[in-house]
Structure 1
Amino acid sequence: MSSEEGLSSTITDWLFINSWWLLLPFIMLLVVAAFIVAFVLLLYMISPLISPKPLKLNGAHVVVTGGSSGIGKSIAVECYKQGAFITLVARDEAKLLQAKKEVEKFAINDKQVVLCISVDVSSDYSQVESVIKQAQEKLGPVDMLVNCAGLAISGKFEDVEVDRFKSERRLNSQKLMEVNYLGSVYPTRAVITTMKERRMGRIMFVSSQAGQIGLFGYTAYSPSKFALRGLAESLQMEIKPYNIYVTVAYPPDTETPGLAEENKTKPLETKLISETSGVCQPDQVAKIIVRDAVQGNFNSSVGPDGYMLSALTCGMSPVTSITEGLQQIVTMGLFRTIALFYLGSFDSIVRRCMIQREQSKAADKRE
């Protein structure tokens, strides 16, 4: 072999060896892609085994607390449209009777019934247990419980009366933890035993986007809604083996009497921050919430902002579909980046309002 042939052979061998190193990243990428595709296909194959069977509302007994107005009444209407029997629970008997008339307009058959029960679901568990028993005797076991009773109070931390944070009851004092948290604990406790015995059921907690992110003005309200998330996650782990599924709904600002009352005391900062996501209609919110509860989805969100918040705050919350889990994994980084811009905007709003307030005080002193 001549020296030229030897040199050519050496160069060829060197190029062959190094070409493999150049191709190695692409080969690894193909292997990873193939693995991901195979993994996704496997997940889709087993997903029917872990996804709950949808609840049929036709002929089902649905109990709605806070059902005399707002989102609660709209949820009752949506369920009634699908053939459910409804028990409306709220404090104001006059509003309940009016709501009953409105819901009955949407009957799809002559057998449907709307039952009204006036009780404060947050005051005395024995009373709540008694009215739930009464409802079950008339309309049968509860198939779905919608915990929608609640109220909102907004205001700066130092301006909110301390009593508003407590769970004890005093005359003419509305307590957020009592209504928003215990008002969901008591009805749930009253139906859970029967649901376990029947090995079926849906329990829905209507929280709020303020139950996913703490915002200015909600130092009293947000904790009471955050508490529902902890209750729901713990409860879901206990009752999932019994084929009972929990849904936590996180509606944004919705045009209801409750929002109108809240706006009376809402600080400027809170108003400006809330305006970034707009106001939804109760019928729109109800359709989404009922759909998610029927499917057994743990999270129920409304709109792009709601979807992003649910993905960002999913943490260790359960999933009821592989698709949901994959979406959370894929979108987490992007949504966190977007959320940082939102947080920066909110901080800027609070800072500007503080500066304007201080300048106004300074001007008043000079006068």
Structure 2
Amino acid sequence: MKLLIVGCGSIGRRHAKNARKLGLDVVLCDVNEERLLDLAAETGAIGCYADYKIAAKQSGADAAVIATPSHLHVAPASSMLEAGMHIMMEKPLCSSVAEANELKRMVVDAKRVFMMAHTFRFRNEWREVKRLLDERPIGRMFSAELIGGWYLPDWHYREDYRREYAAQWKQGGGVMLTSMSHFFDVVAWLFGDIKEVVGAKMRLGLLEIDVDDAVTCVVKTSSGVAVTLYEDFLARCPRRSIRVNGEHGYLEADFNRGLWKIWDVRTKRCLPEHTSAQANLFKVLEDGVAYNLEPDVFPLQCSGNDAYLSELKHFVSLLNGNALETDLGIDAGIEVLKAIGSDGIVDWANTRMN
């Protein structure tokens, strides 16, 4: 199988190297000649193109991975579909629902496999959270909090962060498009379809960027779970966590520390007559019920490149089965875009919050 990688930045490089690990023939396309030739030498690519239109016509690839900046997704994907290729699309799908709907029409007409690269679904830690939530250890779920943050200048340390696509409005950057697209997909995967979103895009920090550097949202899901989301480009100590609150307590995963915790009231609650022998208990009122606030802690296996490798394997398996219907199809990308563009999200990013 011959795979065309369109865009040879960090994520395109990863996909190209993984494709070689899977024994695929790799063709590369990028407007940056130096980057293109460096990756070609590293991966043994069988072809290189600077123009995606020429690559579409001449490469003879069976499928393409679109790994360009977000605002440049639709045009190359359209050319590849016209050439008869299957598509794996990096997130977010594109910049607007209108663009996405037009691309969907092309996908349907072309009768080709289209898969969103929503990598969190392939990460061991998120799959473990999914398994635990499906088992309902804390009973009925009421609410959840997903929190993330990382410092943009530390992302690609040797490069000027101001030139990152994530830092530029014209390239589809900002926390909302760059990071929250992961969170919105995870919310739908874990808790059901997103029904309503309210929140705000903000500029809170001093980074030299023209996009939102922080986003906070509350999401209503079809299962009745209320989910609070927060993500930024400002956190000097990286963080990524989820806490789910239910009728018996909470389940929490700290992905950066590789831990998950569970607190169950059925083992942590003590009536007044049973507290005398136990130290370090918390009482809401002096003569009330007491609680052991310490959760039970377990290791959480976290993914690295294996998640991206599993993602690409899944795409190949879809191609081998000609699976035109998949839960990671273009509709998954469109639903994320609808959440991102919700009328309930106000834009405070154009005015710095002092």
TM class by smaller structure: 0.3 to 0.5
TM-score by length of 1: 0.33
Q: Quick check: which one's helix share is greater?
A: 1
Between Structure 1 and Structure 2, whose CA radius of gyration is higher?
A: 1
TM-score by length of 2: 0.34
Higher relative contact order (CA 8 A, sep 6+): 2
